[in-house]
Amino acid sequence: MPYAHITGWGMSVPEQVLTNDDISKMVETNDAWIRERTGIQERHIARDNQFPSTLGVEASIKALKIANLRPTDLDLIICSTSSPEYIFPATACLIQDQLGATKAGAFDLSAACTGFIYALNMGAQAIRSGSIKSALVIGSETLSRFVNWKDRSTCILFGDGAGAFVLQASEQPGGVLSAVMHSDGSGSDLLTIAGGGSRHPSSESTVLDGKHYIQMDGNEVFRFATRVMASATEEVLVCAGLTIDQVQWIVPHQANIRIIKAAARGLKLPMERYIVNLEHYGNTSTASIPIAMVEAVEKGQIKPGEKLVMVGFGAGLTWGALAAEWTGPIPSKGHVRPEQYRFFARVRSVVRRALRFIEGLLYRREL
């Protein structure tokens, strides 16, 4: 049975930064309160022309470059997102088209902030089963579009960004070791964007009621998160047959420093074992774990051969954890430049649209 290794990684955040001081000009809050209660100092906010696919493509090209893989080598693209560009089509399909990943199947996965763990596990399981050889797993969000900038209890938390991993099959032991996924829909009302779906289709009244905004019971979510972060970590270690001492790093969902500290206390681990970068990005939802991982790898914190646990929670409610051994790129010949495929991908997309148009005209003539 092949192993699923993480062989490429990349991240992308919008250049526009919103500091706590900036937010204090919009709502009744201040930098000291936000830092003390969340640990967040600033977050990145997408411009009008930046979308989950834009950020997702940028992160993916970096990941493919490190993996030395062409977009056309990919068998599968999974995009985890809670801020998809449309209800349908899937954001993953937009990314597939922009990358020129002509062979890949593509779908979105919706498990809120736990989504990247779910998606990575799904990609890894498809490789482990032998049905595919490579997968691109992306977490991408522009949740700022759904933030009510008059609600001080939520607008301080969220930021935009994307992270992407390439998964590849290898006979070498390692890569994704185990994963656990959980849900409890009885808490579905605790964190939600209620409007725009089929229960509350967009209308004047959904907009007047603010149903298109993120609504959250912060205290309940906080309590739930502190309960599950430590237990999911312990559970995934048992599945992997590892003890906590055999793991060098815990990479938690970057929601609130107090939640991460509570989880560390629960496991009696020093904070030095936790990868934390929420001060600069806020909660980027499903993108937070890959963004934290990419930064830690680039800084030389996470090294090949080390073992780690990614652990997250979010709306749904969902929570989960994934244990992995960090290996790095599989040595390969040649030098691939995935960014060059973007031009060809654009041409291909235009040509396919034109052909579809001509085909439509011919088909109508035949009828």
Active site residues: 113, 253, 283
d(CA 352, CA 98): 13
Q: Which residues bind ligand COA (CB under 6 A)?
A: 29, 33-34, 37-38, 113, 152-153, 156-157, 191, 216, 218-219, 221-222, 225, 255-256, 283, 314
Return the number of the residue (7 or 154) whose C-beta is nearest ligand COA: 154
Paired tokens of 350:
């235009």
Return the number of the residue (99 or 191) whose C-beta is nearest ligand COA: 191
Return the number of the residue (125 or 153) whose C-beta is nearest ligand COA: 153
List, edge to edge, every strand of the sheet that includes 249-252.
175-183, 318-325, 307-314, 249-252
Crossing angle for the helix pair 115-128 and 288-298, nearest 10 degrees? 70
> Which DSSP category does 274 fall into?
B
DSSP secondary structure string for all residues of 8-77: EEEEE--S-EEEHHHHHTTSS--HHHHHHHH---EEE---TT--HHHHHHHHHHHHHHHHT--GGG-SEE
Give min distance, CB of 142 to ligand COA, in A.
16
d(CA 31, CA 126): 45
Paired tokens of 37:
């209660």
Return the number of the residue (151 or 339) whose C-beta is nearest ligand COA: 151
Crossing angle for the helix pair 52-67 and 91-99, nearest 10 degrees? 50
Neighbours of 138 (CB within 10 A): 34
Paired tokens of 273:
């074992």
d(CA 39, CA 269): 19
Give min distance, CB of 63 to ligand COA, in A.
24
Give min distance, CB of 41 to ligand COA, in A.
14
Give min distance, CB of 327 to ligand COA, in A.
29
Peptide bond into 71 cis (omega under 30): no
Return the number of the residue (14 or 312) whose C-beta is nearest ligand COA: 312
Return the residue matching tokens 């970068």: 277
Give min distance, CB of 207 to ligand COA, in A.
23
Return the number of the residue (113 or 302) whose C-beta is nearest ligand COA: 113
Q: Which of 274, 244, 328, 64 is nearest to 56 (CA)?
A: 64
Paired tokens of 334:
């040649």
Q: Please, where are the H alpha helices in the chain? A: 20-24, 31-38, 52-67, 91-99, 115-128, 152-155, 204-208, 218-240, 257-266, 278-281, 288-298, 341-366
In the complex, residue closest to ligand COA by CB: 218
Return the number of the residue (165 or 224) whose C-beta is nearest ligand COA: 224
